[in-house]
Amino acid sequence: MKIGFFGCSMTEGGGLNSPVWNEYAIKNNIISKEYEGRYEKLRDDYRFSTLVGKELNCEVENLALSRNSNENIINQLYEHKDKFDICVVQFSIFTRRYIWNEPENKFYNISGVDFSEHPYLNNEKLKPLHETYLNYVAYHHNEKYVKDHLCRYVDLFDNLGKRIYWIFYQPVPKMKKRSNVLYWNLVDWANNNRLEFRHFTDGFYNDRHLSLKGNELVANKIVKKIND
């Protein structure tokens, strides 16, 4: 059995590959010293997709991307679904957009962030994309429409005969009750249960991604859903 994981940084293992977390975790004997400076190895070993694979003794592939838009998540699912026996899809922040940039002849996932925070986006050619995104959110974003659109995608993919499990980062839209939807959202669940890095480190590592315990508990929820 092979499971494919799709989503944004929450599924990619965001925060686990941070040098700040790496140093803190080793200094406080939370992880083995063998991970010192091995940021991607630490992320790949402790993110919930890997833990699901270990628990179910199966192969997994994680195709999630940091700041991924829901449009691109659906694109990835459509392109790769036939490679997997099971797909786990985590929807991202509703306002994120997948925008074409003609000067560079490529698409970008754009989120509501200052470009200066992300050096790989910090160039003059891409600043118009950020302005386009902010204009879209301010004047053209309709959250009900976006949620309804995602529910339609769930309907369509569920009619393909594939085993797909759906997770939401933000509150789950109103939809027909389905056994393959995990009816809790990552952002509220992690915050309310103090399962973010900022909680685990008492604010030293001020990051809102899932802590080690958070990844473990998400993996448990997915395994239970698959087994059920």
Separation of alpha carbons 184 and 64, rounded Å: 19
Q: How far apart are CA 7 and CA 185, in angstroms?
A: 13
- Region 117-136: mean pLDDT is 70
User: Element (H or E) spanning 90, and its range?
Assistant: strand 86-91
pLDDT of residue 112: 66
pLDDT exceeds 70 at position 192? yes
Task: With a cut of 60, say whether residue 6 has pLDDT above it.
Answer: yes
For residues 48 and 221, what is the distance between their CA atoms, to the nearest angstrom? 10
Band (pLDDT 50/70/90 cuts) for residue 122 is: low
91 within 8 A of 150, measured Cβ to Cβ? yes
Burial class from Cβ neighbours inside 10 Å (0-12, 13-18, 19+) for residue 92 reads buried
Per-residue pLDDT, 157: 96
Task: Please write the tens of the pLDDT for every residue from 154-169.
Answer: 999 999 999 999 999 9
pLDDT cut 90: percent of the chain above it:
78
pLDDT tens digits for 11-46? 999 999 999 999 999 999 999 999 999 999 999 999
The SS3 call for residue 108 is strand
* Single-letter code of the amino acid located at 55: E
What are the percentages of helix, strand and coil residues in the chain, rounded to 5? 50, 15, 35
Average pLDDT value over all residues in the chain = 92
Higher local confidence (pLDDT), 202 or 176: 202
d(CA 6, CA 89): 5
C-beta contacts of 41-47 below 8 A and 24+ residues apart: 42/16, 42/17, 43/12, 43/13, 43/16, 43/17, 44/13, 46/13, 46/16, 46/212, 46/215, 47/11, 47/12, 47/13, 47/16, 47/215
> In degrees rounded to 5, what are phi and psi of residue 190?
-65, -40
- Which residue shows structure tokens 């993996």? 219
Give which of 75, 49, 46, 43 is closest to 62, Cα–Cα. 49
